[in-house]
Amino acid sequence: MTETAQSVGELTRTIKSELESLFPFVRVKGELSNCKLHSSGHVYLTLKDSEAQLPAVMWKSVRTRFPMELRDGLEVIAEGRLEVYPPAGRYQLICTALFETGEGAQRLALERLIAKLAQAGYFDPERKKPIPRIPRRIGMITSSTGAVIRDMSDVFARRFPAAELLLYPVQVQGERAVESIVRALRYFNDPPIPEHRPDVLIVARGGGSAEDLQAFNDEAVAEAIYQSKIPVISAVGHETDLSVADMVADLRAGTPSIAAERAVPDRDELLRHIDGLMQRQSILMEGKISGAQLQLDSITSSYAFNRPAQMLGQVEERLALTEKEMKRAMAEKVRDREQQLRAATDRLEMLDIQRVLKRGFALVSQDDRYVTSAKALEEGAKIGITFHDGRREAKVTNQTFP
C-alpha cells in the first residue's frame, strides 16, 4: 500500500506558510558576507556567525533609507521577516532595517526607553502644559556659543523685544551634557533668586548626528522635563530629528528659531490687535453715548420730566420764604438769649465774693476750712481772717455767746 506523495511545490508552499507565519519579524545580529549591489538597486548579502549563515536581501526602497557603507566583515543588526523563495528552495531574510552593531544597540535602548515612558504617561497630551501667550521672562537652556543662541536672540529682538531673556549655558553633547541639562532645568524651576524664574523654558541645540543628540534621548533629561512646573519647549536638531526630549516637552519645535517664534507673540501683530480692540471699543462707546444722549433728550423734553421742575421751583420759593422767617425768628431768639445772659451776668457779679468783702465782710478760716459759727472756735484757737485786700492771722481770746 502506497501513500500519496506531496509534490515539491506543495511541500515548499506548506513550509513557506508555516515559516513565514512563525517569523513575521526578527532581529538578528551577524557579520556581512557576499555583499552584492544589483543593477536594480537591490542588495543581496549573507549574514553569518561561527555557527550558521542566513541569506538576506535589502530592496532598493529600503536601501535608500540606510545609506551606510555595506562591506564584507561589517558587524550589523538586521531587522525584517523570514521569507521562503520557492524557485531556489531556500529561505531568506527580507531586511527592513540595517544598523551597525553599536547603532543597533543604541536604537534598541532608545526604543525600550520610549516604550517605558509612553506606558508611564510621559507623552500623554492631557498632561501637556499650555505655553503662555505673552511671557514676561524666558529661560533658555542651550550652549552659550554657536548659531543657536544668536538665532533665537535675533527672533526675540524682532518679534517681542519686551521679553526678558535668561540664559543657562549648558553642554549639549559629551559626557557631562545630561548632568548639565538636568541641572539647568532644576535651577529654573526653583531658582535661588525669584526674579530668575521664567514663564517658559526653551531647551535647544542645533543639528548633529544621532550620537551628538544622545543627551536629549536620556531618561534623566526626560524626567527633568516631565517634572518641570514651567512649560517647556524643546527644539533639538533639525525638523527631521525627533528626540525623547521633544516627545516629553509641552511643545516641540522643529528648530531653535521656530521655538523662539512659538514662545512669544509677534509684536506688530499684537499692536495691530490692540489697535483693533481700541477702535472697536471706541465705536461701541460712541454708540452707547449717542444712545444715552437720545434717551436723555427724550426724557428732558417730556412733560413728566418738566412737571417736577416746575414743582421744584414752587418748593424753592416756599423754601426761600421759610428761610427768611427762620432767620427772623432766630434773630429774635438770639436777642432774648443775650438779654438773659446779661441779667445772669449781673446777678453773678452781685454774688462776687470780692464785692461782698469790700462791703465790710470777712472770711474766717481754721486749718484751711471756713468757719461759719463762733461755737466752732475754742479759746486759744488760731484762725485766719481774709479781707478784700489781704489776710491776717488771729487768736481767739475768749468766747462770748449770745
CB-facing half-sphere around the CA of 255: CA atoms within 13 A: 13
- What's 325-384 look like in SS3? HHHHHHHHHHHHHHHHHHHHHHHHHHCCHHHHHHCCCCEEEECCEECCCHHHCCCCCEEE
Distance CA 231, CA 197 (A): 12
DSSP 132: P
Whole-angstrom distance, CA of residue 253 vs CA of residue 246: 8
Say how far residue 347 (Cα) sits from the centre of its chain. Answer: 84
Neighbouring CB atoms inside 10 A of 260's CB total 29
Domains located in the chain, CATH noted: 8-110 (2.40.50.140), 123-265 (3.40.50.261), 355-395 (no CATH)
Environment class of 386 (CB within 10 Å of its CB; exposed 0-12, middle 13-18, buried 19+): middle
pLDDT tens, residue order, the chain (402 aa): 456 888 998 899 999 899 888 998 998 988 888 989 888 889 999 999 889 999 999 998 888 777 778 888 888 888 999 999 888 888 999 999 888 776 656 677 788 888 899 999 999 999 999 999 999 999 999 998 888 999 999 999 999 998 999 999 999 988 899 999 999 999 999 999 888 899 999 999 887 777 778 889 899 999 999 999 999 999 997 777 788 999 999 999 989 999 999 999 888 887 787 888 888 888 888 888 888 888 887 777 776 666 776 777 788 888 888 888 888 888 888 888 888 888 888 777 777 777 777 778 888 888 878 888 888 788 888 888 888 888 888 888 876 655
Cell numbers for 61, please give them: 526602497
Q: pLDDT value at position 3?
A: 67
Per-residue model confidence (pLDDT) at position 401:
57
pLDDT of 284: 87
Please give the pLDDT value at position 342. Answer: 84
pLDDT of amino acid 1:
46
* Strand segments (E) across 241-337: 251-252
CA angle centred on 336, ends 333 and 341, rounded to 5°: 125
Order of strands across the sheet with 369-370?
A: 369-370, 363-366, 382-387, 390-395
Q: What phi, psi does 232 have (nearest 5°)?
A: -120, 130
Look at residues 238, 265, 263 and name the one whose alpha carbon lies nearest to residue 141.
263
